[in-house]
């Protein structure tokens, strides 16, 4: 009987856990882990992570002083919370954790650089080596320019919310460490736009990642490809051999319990022999390709808005939790 799909996948692809749930990481023992604002918001509401949240809140309160408003404390705490989860995660995974810059800064190069430096300083202060951290930034032109600066400073970046070849090429030209093309969200868009369902190699999300992977390997880019946002294990099977795949605990469980042969679909040696046109990427070309790609345009906007909304929700939850903690703290006369 063949090994599980998960065991076979690990032989050709680095498996990353797409979750903020530390217990799930302990179960599946991925090489790396990635989080985003939605996942952190969900995890922070789980009772067994309350001590992490409470500790971060009280530290933020202490840092800002008694006169600080709950809103300001919550705003500082959310910047600290992702790193607090990141440090916990790195006690489990041997590789890297991705920590995301505030999505509301996605079109502001300088603000993105400043917050990325702030995040990496927290990891530096905690004694976490930079080789264990990826700073996640949305794949806007402004975000890619920020990543170019950060990479030169030795701050490794993960360009997320990536839906089109133009975003991938711009990121690779900028020398970023890793990109995260979103398979499932691309599928969602095409299903809604066409009214059709897609399976296997016909899945437009699978086709997008395959195109990006082959382009990178053909032209010898060092940037690695991490397929993300999967809807089913069929998509994962079609991308076996991709540099990395970040997978939810539910789909990791399905892969672990399925015992069938898993052939390699993506291979750098094969990509070298493909006829692929080289695209010289500048801002004008990027803007033109982005405007012509309705799917990438829609999903990038939607993704930034979704992550921004999750952060607003998280700040509100933190402010509420802080008020609860303060109401329990006895005042001294």
pLDDT beyond 80 at 26: yes
pLDDT beyond 90 at 128: yes
β-strand 224-227 against 244-247: which pairing, if any?
parallel
Residue 141 included in any domain:
yes
- The helix (run of H) or strand (run of E) holding residue 98 is strand 97-100
Instruction: Locate 195 and state its tokens.
Output: 């009214």
pLDDT beyond 50 at 333: no
91 C-beta neighbours (distance < 10 Å), count? 9
CATH code of 234's domain: 3.20.20.70
Mean residue pLDDT across the chain: 94
Range of the domain at 235: 5-328
3-state SS, residue 91: coil
pLDDT at 188: 98
Q: Facing residues of 162 across strands? A: 181
pLDDT at 254: 97
293 in Cβ contact with 53 (< 8 Å):
no
Does 136 participate in catalysis according to the annotation?
Answer: yes
Residue 227 included in any domain:
yes
pTM: 0.93
- Give percent of the chain above pLDDT 70: 98
123 in Cβ contact with 85 (< 8 Å):
no
Residue 214 included in any domain:
yes
Backbone angles phi, psi at 18, to 5 degrees: -100, 80
pLDDT at 330: 61
pLDDT beyond 70 at 199: yes
Residue 149: band (very low, low, confident or very high) from pLDDT cuts 50, 70, 90: very high
The single residue of 61, 87, 136, 218 carrying the catalytic annotation is 136
Among 34-43, 84-93, 113-122, 279-288, the minimum mean pLDDT is found in 34-43
Residue 333 included in any domain:
no
pLDDT beyond 80 at 209: yes
pLDDT at 332: 46
**Tens-digit pLDDT profile for residues 255-288:** 999 999 999 999 999 999 999 999 999 999 999 9
Residue 17 included in any domain:
yes
pLDDT beyond 60 at 331: no
Residue 40 included in any domain:
yes
Q: Which single residue is written with the structure tokens 């975003």? A: 167
Among 218-227, 254-263, 296-305, 307-316, the minimum mean pLDDT is found in 307-316
Measured over all CA atoms, what is the biggest interatomic distance in the chain, rounded to whole angstroms?
78
pLDDT at 329: 65
Residues whose CB is less than 8 angstroms from the CB of residue 255 and which lie 6 or more positions away in sequence, other chains included: 4, 5, 6, 9, 233, 236, 247
By residue count, the chain amounts to: 333
Residue 101 included in any domain:
yes
Residue 274 included in any domain:
yes
The domain total for the chain is 1
Mean pLDDT of 31-50: 87
């Amino acid at each position: 009987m063949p090994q599980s799909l998960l065991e076979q996948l690990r032989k050709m692809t680095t498996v990353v856990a797409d979750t903020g749930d530390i217990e799930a990481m302990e179960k599946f023992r991925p090489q790396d882990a990635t989080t985003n604002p939605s996942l952190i918001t969900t995890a922070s509401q789980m009772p067994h992570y309350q001590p992490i949240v409470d500790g971060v809140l009280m530290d933020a309160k202490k840092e800002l002083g008694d006169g600080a408003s709950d809103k300001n404390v919550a705003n500082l705490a959310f910047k600290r919370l992702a790193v607090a989860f990141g440090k916990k995660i790195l006690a489990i995974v041997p590789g890297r954790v991705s920590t995301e810059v505030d999505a509301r800064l996605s079109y502001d190069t300088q603000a993105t650089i400043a917050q990325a430096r702030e995040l990496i300083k927290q990891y530096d202060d905690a004694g976490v080596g930079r080789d264990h951290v990826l700073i996640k930034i949305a794949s806007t032109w402004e975000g890619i320019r920020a990543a170019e600066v950060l990479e030169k400073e030795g701050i490794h970046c993960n360009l997320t919310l990536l839906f089109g070849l133009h975003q991938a090429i711009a990121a690779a030209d900028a020398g970023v460490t890793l990109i995260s093309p979103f398979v499932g969200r691309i599928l969602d868009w095409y299903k809604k736009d066409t009214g059709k369902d897609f399976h296997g190699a016909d899945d437009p999300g699978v086709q997008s990642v395959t195109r990006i992977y082959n382009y990178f390997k053909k032209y010898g880019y060092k940037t690695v490809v991490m397929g993300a946002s999967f809807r089913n294990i069929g998509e994962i099977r079609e991308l076996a051999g991709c540099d990395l795949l970040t997978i939810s605990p539910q789909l990791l469980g399905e892969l672990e319990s399925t015992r069938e042969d898993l052939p390699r679909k993506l291979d750098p040696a094969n990509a070298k022999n493909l006829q692929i046109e080289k695209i010289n990427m500048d801002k004008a070309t990027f803007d033109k390709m982005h405007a012509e790609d309705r799917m990438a345009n829609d999903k990038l906007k939607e993704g930034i808005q979704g992550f921004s909304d999750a952060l607003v929700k998280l700040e509100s939850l933190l402010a509420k939790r802080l008020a609860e903690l303060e109401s329990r703290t006895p005042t001294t006369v």
